Amino acid sequence: MNSQHVKDLMANPGPGASTPLYRNFAALKTAWGLDAVNNDDESLYDVSSTVKFAQMLGQIGYKYTIAPYTNSGFWVSLIRQSNAGLAEPNLLLDRAYLQCYDGGAGNNPASWAHTLGLQVVPLVWVTNDSKPSQGTTVTQARSKFTGWYAAGGLAGGGYWNDYDIEKNGLSYSEYGGVLTSIFK
Strand stretches in the chain, DSSP E: 36-39, 63-66, 93-99, 120-125, 158-160
The three-state DSSP-derived secondary structure of 42-65 is CCCCCHHHHHHHHHHHHHHCCEEE
- Return the pLDDT at 3: 83
* Alpha-carbon Rg for the chain in angstroms: 17
- Return the pLDDT at 184: 85
pLDDT in tens, the chain (184 residues): 688 889 999 999 999 999 999 999 999 999 999 999 999 999 999 999 999 999 999 999 999 999 999 999 999 999 999 999 999 889 999 999 999 999 999 999 999 999 999 999 999 999 999 999 999 999 999 999 999 999 999 999 999 998 999 999 999 999 999 999 999 8
Cis upstream peptide for 68 (omega within 30°) = no
- Return the pLDDT at 180: 97
Question: 10 Å Cβ neighbour count for 168?
Answer: 12
What is the C-alpha to C-alpha distance for residues 48 and 81, in angstroms, rounded to an integer?
9
